[in-house]
């Protein structure tokens, strides 16, 4: 059973239009499609809900598709406004960027909050920020000398290191 790769990541938000403004308008994702559903037994069965309705959009940036849902029904549980990175489950998405300093500056000016300015270690510059819904987004810029593989690069065996404190 070969896995070809990760096709998309999905998230649920309380306001699809606000998500569009952030992910398309600020981060620069491209909208592939937008749709809605109501009284759709097949969708309910696949998602494991009853009487589901809502809207969704699929966005693209580089090699990533991001699917974003806004559920009308069933009514979603409230979102933790700042979930910790050390909680169980998926914790963040990492976006590979060029010129992290300029992107960090532009996103900060647009109102995005970050844990810190981009930090450098082992050929990688990185920082975490939050989208308008509290989801963690890592920005990373990988340089040649990094232990982190670049997107699309063929790995040359395992790499190990101890990250300094």
Q: Which two tokens stand for residue 105?
A: 């500056």
- Would 117 be classed as within a structural domain? yes
Report the candidate in 85, 72, 14 with the shortest Cα–Cα distance to residue 43.
72
In this predicted structure, which of 14-18, 26-30, 37-41, 76-80 has the lowest mean pLDDT? 76-80
Whether 66 and 98 map to the same domain: the answer is no
Please give the Cα distance from 50 to 43 (Å, whole number). Answer: 9
Domain identity same for 21 and 65: yes
Q: Which of residues 16, 38, 73 is at a domain's end?
A: 73
Whether residues 30 and 58 share a domain: the answer is yes
Strand locations in 74-107, DSSP E?
A: 92-96
What does the pLDDT read at residue 155? 60
- Has residue 87 been placed in a domain? no
- Please identify, among 43, 73, 103, the residue that sits at the C-terminal boundary of a domain: 73
Q: pTM for this one? A: 0.84
pLDDT score of 105: 97
Note whether residue 165 is domain-resident: no
109-136 confidence digits (pLDDT tens): 999 999 999 999 888 899 999 999 999 9
Residue 151, domain member (yes or no): no
Flag whether 52 is in a domain. Answer: yes
On whether both 110 and 53 belong to a single domain, the answer is no
Is 159 part of any domain?
no
- Residue 21, domain member (yes or no): yes
CATH number for 102:
3.10.180.10
Structural domain of 40: 8-73
Q: Closest Cα to residue 67, out of 55, 57, 76, 53?
A: 57
Do 67 and 113 share a structural domain? Answer: no
- Same-domain check for residues 103 and 51: no
Residue 119 and residue 128: Cα distance in Å, rounded?
10
Above 70 in pLDDT, residue 162?
A: no
| Listed residue (64, 60, 132, 133) closest to 94, CA to CA | 64
CA distances to 34, 70, 105, 115 from 99, in Å = 30, 32, 10, 18
* Residues 69 and 97 occupy one common structural domain: no
pLDDT in tens, 44-76: 899 899 999 999 999 999 999 999 999 999 998
Task: Provide the domain count of the chain.
Answer: 2
68 with 98, same domain: the answer is no
């Amino acid at each position: 059973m070969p896995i070809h790769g990760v096709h998309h990541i999905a998230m649920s938000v309380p306001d699809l239009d606000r998500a569009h403004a952030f992910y398309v308008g600020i981060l620069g994702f491209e909208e592939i499609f937008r749709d809605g559903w109501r009284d759709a037994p097949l969708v309910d069965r696949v998602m494991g809900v009853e009487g589901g309705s809502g809207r969704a959009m699929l966005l693209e940036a580089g090699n990533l598709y991001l699917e974003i849902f806004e559920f009308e029904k069933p009514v979603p549980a409230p979102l933790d406004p700042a979930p910790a990175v050390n909680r169980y489950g998926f914790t963040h998405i990492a976006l590979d960027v060029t010129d992290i300093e300029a992107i960090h500056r532009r996103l900060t000016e647009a109102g995005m909050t970050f844990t810190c300015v981009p930090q450098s270690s082992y050929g990688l510059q990185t920082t975490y920020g939050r989208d308008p819904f509290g989801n963690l987004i890592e920005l990373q810029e990988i340089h040649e000398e990094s232990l982190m593989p670049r997107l699309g690069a063929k790995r040359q065996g395992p790499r190990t290191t101890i990250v300094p404190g």
